[in-house]
Chains A and B, each alone.
Chain A
Amino acid sequence: MLLWTAISLMTGAAILAVLWPLRAGGGTAPAASAADLAVYRDQLSEIERDRVSGLIGASEGEAARAEVGRRILRASAETASGAARPSGADRRRQIVAVVALVGLPVMAGGLYLKLGSPALPPQPLAARLESRPDQSDVAILVRKVEAHLEANPEDGRGYEVLAPIYARIGRTADAARAWTSAIRLLGPSAVRENGLGEALTAEAGGVVTVEAKAAFEAAAVADPRDPKARYFLGLAAEQDGRPADAAQIWGALAASSPPDAPWMGLLRAALARVGAPVAAAPGPSAADVAAAQDMTPAERDQMVRGMVARLEARLAQDGSDIEGWLRLMRARIVLGEADKAKAAASEARAHFATDGGALGRIDALARELGLGS
């Protein structure tokens, strides 16, 4: 609001700068030679002063006087001939006034809206540092925690909070350092070791380095059933050129995971890569899920929508997957799209019109989701 007030005031001032001088009326300017005459008269009096004080000789002074005198004559003649009285002064003033009142705001406003960011508030650092912790200003949060850790370098909790944020904003090296400190101060845990391993892997551009592998191994020790550590250990084996070991690790993981575990898709893809048997039931891949954990809400929403769209496209081609239809309905509700959920329910019913069991499941879910039946 303040911004728009300031903008209006400035524009008003600019318009006034044009209109105010017009107010006094048009008319002819004084002849330019009038100003010349003043200068030449001064030159004459200066020559006179110099002559009286003896700075220049009498004859020199006389010659100079004559020269300036000639200039005066010429200028006077010009003044006498005068400039013609201008016509159409009122019309010109109208044009200028319109340009000022309309052209000026349009020009300035149009260019500003193209270049400026009127919605962005000012963000002086001091104010940002004082404000309540607000999730949207991640940079300041990081900075505050950093400042806190500088003062209390032994606070492991701080590092634990900071590390995933570093990872999320792409400062993977800092994330790895923070995880290391957290492990040093709080002791190893699966989450911390996994975080360290992931940060190191990301820092190395996706390669599970020796250090990263050590971290995942430590995580697996802390929690032998931890899927993330086992997945990455398999990846390390694959990158080391031991596909059989990788297949064994991943196979064990797949066997011990529930079939609808979020990482199963990724795992199946990985198993396929190393030539192990695959049982397909595509859901969100583990990579997708892992990525989703590190995403902002907007990005996560974006990802979910992408997955839903893919699911819908697949069902449009092959509508015989009852599980797919049920998942689509749920997803639509999660995304707040009740209409589309209803549409999905009726389409599913059309596909399973002869299958009583399937129809029952669809109706049950629809009731559960509050879609009516």
Chain B
Amino acid sequence: MNPEIGHYALVLALAVAILQTVIPIWGARVGDAALMRVGPALAVAFFGFVSLAFAVLTVAYVQSDFSVLNVVENSHSLKPMLFKITGVWGNHEGSMLLWVLVLALFGAMVALFGSNLPATLKANVLGVQGSVGVAFLLFILLTSNPFIRVMPAPAEGQDLNPVLQDIGLAIHPPLLYLGYVGFSITFAFAVAALIDGRIDAAWARWVRPWALAAWAFLTVGIAMGSYWAYYELGWGGWWFWDPVENASLMPWFAGTALIHSAVVMEKRDALKVWTLLLAILAFSLSLLGTFLVRSGVLTSVHAFATDPTRGVFILGILVFFIGGSLALYALRAPMLRQGGIFAPISREGALVLNNLLLTAAAAAVLIGTLYPLALESWNGAKITVGPPYFNLTVGALMLPVLFAMPFGPLLAWKRGDLAGAAQRLMSALAVGILIALAAAYMQGGGPLLAPLGMGLAAFIVIGAVVDIAERGGIGRVPAATAFARLRGLPRASYGAALAHAGVGVCLFGIIAETSWNAERITGLKIGESFEVGGYELTLARVEPRNGPNYRDLAGVFTIRRGGTEIGTIESSKRLFTARNMPTTEAGIRTFGFSQLYVSLGDELPGGGIGVRAYWKPFVTLIWLGAVIMALGGALSLSDRRLRIGAPKPAKTKPIKDKPASKPDAAPAPAE
């Protein structure tokens, strides 16, 4: 397909987005239904054109059309087909196009599935979404255009960074973007509500599915990114507090707070001002993350200086949207009517605590990420804010959240009974203590923090079970009644419990891995063995191999436990010849939830090879927990209630012979 078709589609998408920004908002301001109806049509068209542009670029990659500069710079005709396709978003220009594609996708989904929304809200949401699209399309077309052509076309491309030629990297950016950019919709809802001046309990219900979807994608995306770093970088670490990771974690904290405060707003008409602020913050932090990652300020000030247009452009977008929305917020928020009241000890109170601590955690991560930048530009001092800072602050802030988590769902709205909740949680608490004792016994001394953390994790998981059991009245009512009640429970309740259990599972994995992992660094000759985590590893052979575009030095180890051989594990050091770049292919074997992890080092002068081996107990629970959380979100999302709204105004169109000005389908006695 002609790349120029994609280029035009992208330009046309910009024109469409401009109209999408102006016409529906205008229509909403003057109350003109026809103008507002233009919004959904344009949102779908916007999505169509951006998809077309993305498809054309993909075709250019698949066909190795080296007349497209972006393809020359990031592809190679001999690259496997899978990595040709994933190479589309494995570079700056393509990933920004993916960003806009996801933005357009969410806009189109609101247009198509938002029939339950009031017309003015929908029009304003699509208008705001369109304005974000305008800003980023301008950024792409003016500073990062993937459709720039070269003539004469080279015969071969420069290939993709080998570290990026990996299936994990292929799928985690799209997931992450679905989360990141998904918050653009909650942002659009918040700004739309501020423009409209109508913010009530119903708004929260309309916003929740979008917040939930974005949050679930972001959760999985972060987990995938973490697993990719774990097995690809060969260090056995799964979280580095790297700025790029922090950039995804901050919106996650804000988004988690948002999905909780939206519940309060929906049920009790309270915390409205706060929920709006969170909706704005979640997307602002996503934008900030995009800026940090895309402008290059973090990896190298130098990179930013050589091409300042991009950084300055994104900074402009950042200032416009964050500043604009916050200014609008400051203007309109004081005019909102106060909602329901509640006692400090109540479901609302618990959710407020959760919100405060989560936002504080997001702020702590933000400060830790930006402080070195700020300090350097202020007095030139170069410092690193490393894992100790983040572990301390985020850990201390999350501890009360985690402990309070099982209590929250058991407290009643408005005024709760803490003692009662504690009583009902006795069984969970008992299990938690038992687990802690068992862990302490197994550990046999050492820091107490680990057993306590595992006890807390068990308390959270069992607490989620108790929550569901209590809702069914198990033990208090006949079994048949309890079963009927459980069947009648809304899916959102199951979803919440599942997500909370996921947090517990994840916490268990984190604590077990960090406190019980075993590490051995040694040099081995063939036939020699060493022991890690109760497994005996023998270096059976070292063999050189040749791949399509790399040379491999593979070490094969046999694993023995208690003297019997239970398998082999293979790790290799890979040299990609095109860019003369080595990578480590770690050998990983999973036993239950635990993993044995081996990576090769350099060949040693006296013969033999450096080996780094880890025993990582329960490490897979970290990612499994995150997946359970996301599944909980998905389950909540399937709740029927989230789709309730207007009595299908779209179905009852005004009939020709009626006066056109008659309000369509107002069920209440109007006028």
Contacts of A10 in B (CB 8 A): 5, 8-9, 12, 49, 52
With an 8 A cutoff between CB atoms, is B335 at the interface?
no
CA distance A13 to B45 in the complex (A): 8
- Judging by beta carbons under 8 Å apart, are B19 and A36 in contact? no
Given contacts A32-B119, A35-B645, A122-B2, contact A115 B488 (CB under 8 A): no
Which of A138-146, A153-161, A233-241, A266-274 lies at the interface? A138-146
Given contacts A55-B471, A92-B30, contact A125 B63 (CB under 8 A): yes
- Judging by beta carbons under 8 Å apart, are A30 and B9 in contact? no
- Judging by beta carbons under 8 Å apart, are A126 and B9 in contact? no
With an 8 A cutoff between CB atoms, is B396 at the interface?
no
CB interface residues, A 105-148, toward B, < 8 Å: 107-108, 111-112, 115-118, 120-126, 128, 136-140, 142-143
B1-45 Cβ-contact flags toward A at 8 Å (1 or 0): 111110111011011101100010011101111111110111011
With an 8 A cutoff between CB atoms, is A225 at the interface?
no
Which of A76-84, A195-203, A256-264, A337-345 lies at the interface? A76-84
Does more than half of chain A's interface fall in helix, strand or loop, or is it mixed?
A: helix
- Judging by beta carbons under 8 Å apart, are A35 and B668 in contact? no
- Judging by beta carbons under 8 Å apart, are A115 and B2 in contact? no
With an 8 A cutoff between CB atoms, is B413 at the interface?
yes
With an 8 A cutoff between CB atoms, is A46 at the interface?
yes
Q: List 7 A-B contacts (CB under 8 A).
A: A6-B2, A27-B660, A34-B118, A67-B269, A82-B666, A107-B14, A117-B149
- Judging by beta carbons under 8 Å apart, are A118 and B4 in contact? yes
B646-671 Cβ-contact flags toward A at 8 Å (1 or 0): 11010001100000111111111111
With an 8 A cutoff between CB atoms, is A310 at the interface?
no
Number of interface residues of B (CB under 8 A): 101
Which of B64-72, B159-167, B234-242, B554-562 lies at the interface? B64-72
Contacts of B63 in A (CB 8 A): 122, 124-126
B197 to chain A, nearest CB (A): 10
Q: Which residues of A contact B (CB under 8 A)?
A: 2-3, 6-7, 10-11, 13-14, 17-18, 20-22, 24-40, 42-43, 46, 49, 53-55, 60, 63-64, 67, 71, 75-76, 79-80, 82-86, 88-89, 92-93, 96, 99-100, 103-104, 107-108, 111-112, 115-118, 120-126, 128, 136-140, 142-143
Contacts of B45 in A (CB 8 A): 13-14, 17
A133 to chain B, nearest CB (A): 13
Contacts of B345 in A (CB 8 A): none
B329 to chain A, nearest CB (A): 20
- Judging by beta carbons under 8 Å apart, are B666 and A30 in contact? yes
Contacts of B670 in A (CB 8 A): 31, 79-80, 82
Contacts of A140 in B (CB 8 A): 155
CA distance A82 to B661 in the complex (A): 13
- Judging by beta carbons under 8 Å apart, are A96 and B66 in contact? no
Q: Which residues of B contact A (CB under 8 A)?
A: 1-5, 7-9, 11-12, 14-16, 18-19, 23, 26-28, 30-38, 40-42, 44-45, 48-49, 52, 60, 63-67, 77, 116-121, 141, 145, 147, 149, 151-156, 196, 198, 200-202, 205-206, 268-269, 340, 412-414, 471, 473, 477, 481, 484-485, 488-490, 641, 644-647, 649, 653-654, 660-671
CA distance A3 to B19 in the complex (A): 24
6 tightest CB-CB pairs across the interface, nearest first? A124-B63, A32-B118, A35-B646, A21-B37, A143-B155, A125-B64
Given contacts A71-B269, A122-B2, contact A42 B41 (CB under 8 A): no
CA distance A187 to B47 in the complex (A): 63
- Judging by beta carbons under 8 Å apart, are A143 and B156 in contact? yes
CA distance A220 to B475 in the complex (A): 106
* CB-contact partner of A40 in B15, B141, B201, under 8 A: B201
Contacts of A14 in B (CB 8 A): 12, 15-16, 45, 49
- Judging by beta carbons under 8 Å apart, are B32 and A89 in contact? yes
- Judging by beta carbons under 8 Å apart, are A54 and B477 in contact? yes
- Judging by beta carbons under 8 Å apart, are A28 and B412 in contact? no
* CB-contact partner of B16 in A17, A37, A80, A84, under 8 A: A17
Given contacts A27-B662, A104-B16, A115-B7, contact A71 B200 (CB under 8 A): yes
Contacts of B28 in A (CB 8 A): 29
B211 to chain A, nearest CB (A): 16
Residue of A nearest to B1 (CB): A122
Contacts of B485 in A (CB 8 A): 53-55
CA distance A118 to B7 in the complex (A): 9
CA distance A139 to B18 in the complex (A): 41
Contacts of B202 in A (CB 8 A): 35-36, 39-40
CA distance A108 to B16 in the complex (A): 9
- Judging by beta carbons under 8 Å apart, are A28 and B663 in contact? yes
Contacts of A33 in B (CB 8 A): 118, 668
Contacts of A20 in B (CB 8 A): 41
A110 to chain B, nearest CB (A): 9
